[in-house]
Amino acid sequence: MSDGPDTEHRRPEGLDDTTVEALGKLSEALEVIERVRGHLYSMHQLVGEADFKLDDAVALLRKAGHEQLAERVQQELIGRNVLEGRWTFQVVEEFDDGYYAEFKGIEKDARDQLAQGKRHLYEAELKEQRRTRGRKGHEALP
């Protein structure tokens, strides 16, 4: 076995530096969108958690004799849409099925058309440039 990347991370014959760099930037942009998606799921879970905590707040407000405020929280906040007509699961689904799916599809199509579907070519080449051959912890492959 050679001391370099596996075949899945070797540049196809004839693929130029600018294209590899462009695919790297496209992949990097997708990674940012993956983080955005994670934040949306965090928002989804946090809003749900807060909504259920409101049940406790309402119960305690009622117990303390603050019926009007408890009723306001119950009626105006619990179960409220976070955006017009949408709970957070609907926001996440719309993002996943729309922008996210389109972004992932275009990034994959670009790799398929230009690099035989290979992922992370830019990073694989960067690893080869930066690692110290023959040094423990700098191996090309697991």
Q: What is the pTM of this model?
A: 0.86
Domain assignment present for 4:
no
- SS3 assignment, position 122: helix
pLDDT the model gives residue 2: 67
Q: Which domain holds residue 56?
A: 16-128
Count of structural domains within the chain: 1
| DSSP code for 100 | I
pLDDT along the chain (142 residues), means of 10: 83 96 98 98 98 98 98 98 98 98 98 97 95 92 90
Residue-level pLDDT at 4:
85
For residue 140, being part of any structural domain is answered with: no
* 126 sits in which H/E element: helix 121-130
**Which sign, positive or negative, has the C-alpha torsion 84, 85, 87, 93?**
negative
73 phi-psi bin (left φ>0, alpha ψ -120 to 50, beta other): alpha
Q: Where are the alpha helices (DSSP H) in 5-100?
A: 17-63, 67-76, 88-95
